[in-house]
Structure 1
Amino acid sequence: MKYKCDLIQDLMPLCTDDSASEGSKKAVFEHMAECKTCSEYYQKLMQNVEMETDQDDVKTSEYAAIARKIRRRKLKYRTLLAVLTCSAFLLLGNYAMGYHFTAGAAARNSGKLNPSSKVLGTLDWGNIKFFFYEGDCNYDTIAADRHWNGWRSDDNYFAWPKYPADKGKLTVTSPLYFWDYDRGILLFPLLSEDPDITRVTITAFGLSKSTDIDTGELAVLAFENGDASLSQDAVGYAYDQYGAIKYELSYDKSMGRWVWE
């Protein structure tokens, strides 16, 4: 043999990672063809190199999986942060523009009520909710409209003074005619201070409706209409427990209001 085994075995690691020169590789492989001991030594050396390579591949795969998990987690956090930021801007913008989560909040924050105002009752009409309030000097009605991003009262506000002549009687807080795009509704809010009154019947737009009356409790008769014009030809009667008419609804043109006489 041309070279000693020790020298050849020293060159073998350079051959396994392909860093040996072509002359050294030729000397190593020619020597192994004649030396069984060195050939077996090279085979073991190659097995160790393959095992190390496999372990490196496993570690690389694990590191890649961890990196992907970290990237996904960062993406989730960024998405969540973006959603929260957009939601905050939306909520602040809605509040600044007068939109609220509930119809009641929209009505209370309309700026039309006094601190002493209290809710007498409500009425739902599609996407619109009417709130009837009583203040120290007025009866107030606020209509809250439901939009895709919340409730808003806009300028839908009606006020009816408390007339001294109505005290102790059946009062109507002025019929309210509300028009919404292609439909209208005529509301008769009724509040009685007369314990004799038990029932009220009103006819408007050719339709008659009745409601029971409890002293101090609000009742509302509503009439829908597809015509934007408001008729003042409503007829109404208030009955006592025996069915006798005690008050009749009439329109006072001089005062521009409805009264029970």
Structure 2
Amino acid sequence: MKYNCELIRDLLLLCQDNVASTASQTAVNEHLLECAECRSFKKNMKIVNLQQNTSKMKDAETISHTKVAKRIRKRKPLIIVCLALVTILVTYFSYSYATGKRFDAYNCSQNSRWVDEESILLGDVDMAPFHIYLYENEEKYRTIATKYSFPFWELGSSSWANKTDDLVKLVGWYSVRDDGQGITVVPIECFDENVEYIEMGANDSRLRKEIKGGEVIIFSWAKSLRWNDLDGIAYSKEGEPLYKLGYDVKNATIKTDELRWLPVLK
């Protein structure tokens, strides 16, 4: 043979690491064609290298798993806290939803026991933190109050007004003072063509609204007012009083649902 086996085997190591010259690689290939022992040596080299690489991979995988396990152990308290918070939040939101609280005021008002599929929404008033909804039911007009309390809207109190055949009538009524915050809402529907406008409220907060037949006109104040503070009067185009808000009862006991627009006697 042209080359010594020991020399070729040394060159095999260089070839394996891809650092042998082209001439050395050619010499190794020519020798391997002639020498069975060197071919066997090369084969054994591949097996040993494969075993070494496999062992290194297993060691690296073991080290990686160990690092992951250590990170999990370090973060375990944080994971437990996060899971506890998630559980608390899910319980809180589920309970709030079950008790009628909602993320928007309208859906909250729909959860009132006075609102059903037959209820008709006549209008609404947004006066933060309140949002008032006016509904017409089969027998009465219902005024439903909702109030924002982060992060939900929740139902407040409600009131009603009786249905009448009056040409000028209340289609709701709401006045409340809650945690230092007050609100008064008085919705009116007018079918008397002679009524041009309505004035209502105390001197420093008296409002005037033009009347359009059949439309719901809403008076609102960011304070609680008693009915006798409203001093509601409906006027003709000429400024003549036609109706006045009050009670048509003679006994000492009066009820809110008896409040009506009474014709002014001439």
Name the TM-score class by shorter chain.
Answer: 0.5 to 0.7
Separation in 2, partners of 1:214, 1:80:
58
Cα distance 1:183–1:80, how it changes in 2: closer, same or farther (>3 A)? closer
- Show structure 2 runs of 5+ residues with no match: 1-51
Separation in 1, partners of 2:94, 2:60:
51
Please state whether the residue corresponding to 2:228 is helix, strand or coil. Answer: coil
Match of 2:118 in 1: 116
Deviations 1:64-113 (Å, cap 9, x if unpaired)?
Answer: 44546777999998777555533331222112333222211221111122
Match of 1:148 in 2: 150
User: Structure 1 counterpart of 2:159, which letter?
Assistant: F
Separation in 1, partners of 2:131, 2:178:
12
Per-residue deviation at 1:173?
3.3
> Is structure 2 residue 127 aligned with structure 1 residue 129?
no
Separation in 1, partners of 2:75, 2:222:
56
User: Structure 1 counterpart of 2:102, which letter?
Assistant: H
Match of 1:238 in 2: 234
Q: How many residues align?
A: 204
Please state whether the residue corresponding to 1:153 is helix, strand or coil. Answer: strand
Separation in 2, partners of 1:180, 1:235:
23
Separation in 2, partners of 1:208, 1:157:
24
Is the 2:195–2:235 Cα contact (8 Å) retained in structure 1? yes
Per-residue deviation at 1:170?
2.0
Is the 2:143–2:173 Cα contact (8 Å) retained in structure 1? no
Separation in 1, partners of 2:233, 2:71:
76
Match of 1:94 in 2: 96
Cα distance 1:239–1:231, how it changes in 2: closer, same or farther (>3 A)? closer
- Aligned match of 1:251 in 242, 246, 250? 246
Per-residue deviation at 1:163?
1.6
Separation in 2, partners of 1:185, 1:134:
21
Separation in 2, partners of 1:239, 1:231:
19
Please state whether the residue corresponding to 2:206 is helix, strand or coil. Answer: strand
RMSD of aligned residue pairs (Cα, Å): 3.7
Cα distance 1:60–1:198, how it changes in 2: closer, same or farther (>3 A)? same
Per-residue deviation at 1:174?
5.6
Match of 1:25 in 2: none
Please state whether the residue corresponding to 1:122 is helix, strand or coil. Answer: strand
> Is structure 2 residue 239 aligned with structure 1 residue 215?
no
Separation in 1, partners of 2:235, 2:68:
81
Give the TM-score of the pair, scaled to structure 2.
0.62
Report matched runs for 1:7-46 at 5 Å.
none
Separation in 2, partners of 1:73, 1:196:
77
Per-residue deviation at 1:136?
1.9
Is the 1:172–1:258 Cα contact (8 Å) retained in structure 2? yes
Match of 2:46 in 1: none
Deviations 1:230-254 (Å, cap 9, x if unpaired)?
Answer: 36143233345x4443632231251
- Show structure 1 runs of 5+ residues with no match: 1-50
Please state whether the residue corresponding to 1:232 is helix, strand or coil. Answer: helix
Identity %: 21
Cα distance 1:258–1:206, how it changes in 2: closer, same or farther (>3 A)? farther
Deviations 1:176-232 (Å, cap 9, x if unpaired)?
Answer: 32111224333221112234544322132642111233333222112344xx77361
Please state whether the residue corresponding to 1:254 is helix, strand or coil. Answer: coil
Match of 1:32 in 2: none
Please state whether the residue corresponding to 1:92 is helix, strand or coil. Answer: helix
Report matched runs for 1:139-218 at 5 Å.
139-154=141-156, 156-164=157-165, 166=166, 169-173=167-171, 175-204=173-202, 206-218=204-216
Separation in 1, partners of 2:209, 2:160:
23
Per-residue deviation at 1:143?
0.5
